[in-house]
Chains A and B, each alone.
Chain A
Amino acid sequence: MEEKLLEIKDLCVEYKTDEETVYAVNNLSLSINKGETLGLVGETGAGKTTTALSIMKLLPQKIGFIKKGTIYMNGQDIILKSEEEMRKIRGKDISMIFQDPMTSLNPVFTVGEQVAEVIKLHSEGKSKEEIEKRVDELFLMVGLPAERKTEYPHQFSGGMKQRIVIAMALACEPQLLLADEPTTALDVTIQAQVLKMMKDLKDKLNTAMILITHDLGVVAQTCDKVAIMYAGEIIEHGTAEDIFEGNFHHPYTVGLFGSIPDLTTKSKRLHPIEGLMPDPSDLPHGCRFNPRCPKCMDICTKAEPREYISDGHAVKCHLFSDDSSEKKEG
C-alpha cells in the first residue's frame, strides 16, 4: 500500500498589500505519496510557487497569509507548527530548490560553506571532518569535483550553480523535495542533464518531489502524477497518463496542449489560449476560467463547479455534470 507523505486540504493563501488583497491560492487540495513525483503545472501567476512556499511556511512575511486549510506532512499539520519547529523541518524533511540558480547562492561565502551549513544545522554531533566528508560526497553525487568547494558562486556557471543548490537540498536526504522551476533559467541542453540527475537522485534516495513547472515536456519526462493549476485552484489532476492520454479534460488543459507545437500532426498554426490570466485580486464569478473558456455555458458564470472524479482522474468543470460515467464528489 502506498503511504501518504503530504496531504494538503482546502488551502487558501492571500497576499495583502496596502492597495489590494490578492487571492493567490483558493481551496487547493492535493496529496503525494512517498517517493512519488507530482508535476504542478500552470501559467505564471497561477499560484504554484505560493503553494510550495506555504508547504515550507516561507511566505513573504507580513504580506502572505495562510487563511484556511491544513497541510499534513507525515500525519502532522505543518500550519500549526511553530517557527522553531519549522526550522528543524526545513532543509531536513522538506527541501526547496528555487528557480534562479544565479541568485540562489550567497555571493560572499564559498559554495562548500553553504552546503556544509545545511548539514551542520540538521545533524548535531557531527564532527567537522564528517561534515566535510559529506560535502565531498554530495559534490561527487551532483557531478562536481569536490575540490571546487572552496570556490565562490561567481566562479560557477548557471548549470553548475543549480547542481550545488541541488546538493544543498538533498544533503539531509529529505522526504520531500519542492523544485520550483529548477531548470527554467538554464540552457536547454543543461536543462536535460540537470533534470535527469534530479530524477536519478530522487529515485536513489526515495524522495518524493513536487516539480513546479510550466513546461509540459518536462512533466511528461519526469512525473508520476500531474496537477494543473489555474488562478489558485487545481482544475484537473490525475496520473500522468490521465492527463496526457486520458479522453476527458478541462477546457483549460485542452488549451494548454493546444499551445504546444506538435511535429507529428500537420497544423498551420499554434492555438494559444485566448485572453490573459484573471487579476488575482479580482477573480471572476463562478468558474475562474469562464472568461477565456471556449465552451463557456450559462452556469459557468454563476456557480463554481465541483470536482468530477473518474478513477482518480479529477476535473473541475461544469461540462461533466451530465456525464453518465461514474462520478463522485471530491
Chain B
Amino acid sequence: MHKYVIKRLLMLIPVILGITFILYSIMTLTPGDPVRMILGDGATDEAVEQMREELGLNKGFFEGYVDYLKDAAHGDFGKSYRTREPVFNEVFARFPNTLKLASSAIAISIILGVLVGIIQAVHQYSILDNIISGITLICTSIPDFWFGLILIIIFCVNLKLLPASGSDHWYNYVLPAITASMGYTAGTIRLTRSSMLEVIRSDYIRTARAKGTDERTITYRHALKNALLPVVTLIGINLGWQLGGTIIVEQIFAIPGIGTLMIGAVRSKDIPLLMASVTFVAVLSSLINLGTDILYAYIDPRIKAEYSK
C-alpha cells in the first residue's frame, strides 16, 4: 500500500513538468507581449527593455523555461508581472473561496445524488423513476452559466431572497453552490441508479435473498457498498474538476476565486501567475484522485490486494 502511494506521488513529477511546459509554450510562443500590456502603448523602448530584463523575458525559450524550473525547485515560483507579489501568495489568498464553492457543490451532489439514485433504483420503472430520469437528463444538458442566471432571476430579481454577488457570507455561496453542483448531482444520480441496478441483478444479491435477508438489508448493506465503488471514483473526479471548473460560476457570481485569478492572468499574459494557478489546481486534483483510489481500497478488498502487490 505504501509503495503504491509513493509510486503515485512520484508520478506527479513528470505531470507537473509537463503541465508547466505546455502552459509555458502556449504563453510564450503565441503573439502578444506582456510588457507592452503592462506598460501600455505609450511606453518608451528603454522602459520596455528594462522591464523585459526585470521579468526575465529577454532570455530564449528554453533558457527561460529551465531558469523557471531551477527557481521553482528552490521554492520560488516567480512573481506576478502585475502585482509583483510571489504568485503563491495570490493563489493561496484566492483558493479558500474556490474551495468553499467546490466543496459545498460536491457535498450537495454526493448527498442528493446518492440518495435520489438509490430511491430511483429501488423504485425502478415507477412514475417517480421516470420523472427523476427526465429531470436528471435535462440537468446534465443545462449550461451552468445559464442555470446560474435563471437562479438569479428567480431568487435575486423576483423573490429578492439572496444576493447575486459577493463572497463574504455563507449565503453568498448558496446560489453559486447550487449552480456548480447541478450537473454533478445529475451525473451522480444517474451513475448511482445504474450502478445499484446492476448490483441488484447480480448473483450475490440473489444469494442474499436465498438466505432470507430482508430487502432493506439487501439494499443498504449488500448492494450499496458494491454500488458505491464507481460512484466514489466519480466523486473524486468531480471534485478535481470542480476546483478547476468553477471558473464560469465564479464569473457569474463575482466570486474572487482561482478561476477569476486565472482568467485575469491569461488576459494580461501573466505567465508565472497562470502557471502557478493552473499547476496548483492540476496537482490538487491529482492528489484528490489518489485519495479516491486509496478510499477505494478500503471499500473493496480486491483492490486493496492489488495495491499491495
Contact = CB atoms under 8 A, between A and B. Distances in A.
B301 A103 contact: no
Interface stretch (B56-64, B210-218, B260-268): B210-218
Contacts of B125: 62
B230 to A, nearest CB: 13
Contacts of B208: 106, 117
Given A62-B125, A118-B212, 11 more contacts: A58-B209, A58-B210, A91-B210, A91-B211, A98-B210, A105-B207, A107-B226, A109-B222, A152-B305, A154-B302, A165-B207
Contacts of A87: 212-214
Given A87-B213, A165-B207, A103 B202 contact: yes
A122 B211 CA distance: 9
5 contacts: A98-B207, A121-B212, A152-B305, A154-B301, A155-B305
B8 interface: no
Chain B, interface size category, equals: 20 to 34
B203 interface: yes
Pick the 7 closest A-B CB pairs, nearest first: A91-B212, A103-B203, A90-B212, A91-B211, A152-B301, A106-B204, A118-B211
Interface of A: 56, 58, 62, 86-92, 95-96, 98, 100, 103-109, 117-118, 121-122, 152, 154-155, 165, 168-169
Contacts, number: 72
Contacts of A168: 207, 211
Interface in B200-243: 202-214, 222, 225-226
B206 A98 contact: yes
B301 A107 contact: yes
A65 to B, nearest CB: 16
A121 B226 contact: no
Contacts of A62: 125
Given A108-B226, A108-B300, A89 B203 contact: no
A141 to B, nearest CB: 17
B213 A58 contact: no
B212 A88 contact: yes
A121 B204 contact: no
A194 to B, nearest CB: 17
B211 A106 contact: no
Contacts of A89: 212
B302 A107 contact: yes
B204 A107 contact: yes
Given A62-B125, A154-B302, A121 B211 contact: yes
A58 B211 CA distance: 11
A124 to B, nearest CB: 13
A92 B213 CA distance: 11
A234 B36 CA distance: 92
Nearest to B306: A154
Given A98-B203, A100-B203, A108 B301 contact: yes
B299 interface: yes
A96 B210 contact: yes
Contacts of B213: 87, 117, 121
A90 B167 CA distance: 58
A195 to B, nearest CB: 20
A90 B209 contact: yes
B130 to A, nearest CB: 15
Contacts of B302: 107, 152, 154
Contact of A122 (B203, B212, B222, B305): B212
B305 A154 contact: yes
B120 to A, nearest CB: 15
A21 to B, nearest CB: 18
Contact of B210 (A90, A103, A105): A90
B207 A104 contact: yes
Contacts of B207: 98, 104-106, 165, 168
A117 B203 CA distance: 17
A14 to B, nearest CB: 18
Most buried by B among A90, A92, A165: A90
A37 B226 CA distance: 36
Nearest to B299: A108
Contacts of B209: 58, 90
Contacts of A154: 301-302, 305
B211 A105 contact: no
Contacts of B222: 106, 109
Given A107-B301, A152-B302, A58 B206 contact: yes
Interface in B141-161: none
A87 B214 CA distance: 7
A95 B300 CA distance: 28
Interface string B294-309: 0000011110010000
Given A108-B299, A152-B301, A154-B302, A103 B212 contact: no
Nearest to B199: A106
Contacts of B204: 103-107
